[in-house]
Amino acid sequence: MKGDKVIVRSFGDKPLVRMVWEITSSAVFICTEENFSALSRGNNGLWPVGFPKECVYRYNPKINLNAPIVWDQLTVYGN
């Protein structure tokens, strides 16, 4: 849902916390919290970037993003 916080598996398996802007049949469009706020207010900002759905996971504040991530233990967003 628009505005949900998610963990994204980016290049090099680096985890990023981002906000959902839009969901399509093949991708989840995400952006930073700052950019989400700007776009939501109608201000200019960078357009959200689409990630394959299988690279976007439910946010869990208990996950240590500085430690190695075991991606198989996370829940894919939307499942």
From first to last of its 79 residues, what are the pLDDT tens digits of the chain? 999 999 999 988 999 999 999 999 989 999 999 999 999 998 988 899 999 999 999 999 999 999 999 999 999 998 6
* Counted domains in the chain: 1
Residue 35 lies in a domain: yes
**Predicted pLDDT of residue 78:** 83
Q: Is residue 60 part of a domain?
A: yes
Q: Is 9 a member of any domain?
A: yes
Give domain status of residue 18, yes or no. yes
Contact residues for 45 (Cβ-Cβ < 8 A; gap 6+)? 31, 35, 38, 39
Residue 78 in any domain: the answer is no
**8-13: long-range contacts (C-beta < 8 A, 24 or more apart)?**
8/51, 8/55, 8/56, 8/57, 9/51, 9/55, 9/56, 9/57, 9/69, 9/71, 10/55, 13/69, 13/71
User: Is residue 49 situated within a structural domain?
Assistant: yes
The answer to the question of residue 65 being in a domain is yes
Any domain includes 15 = yes
pTM over 0.75: yes
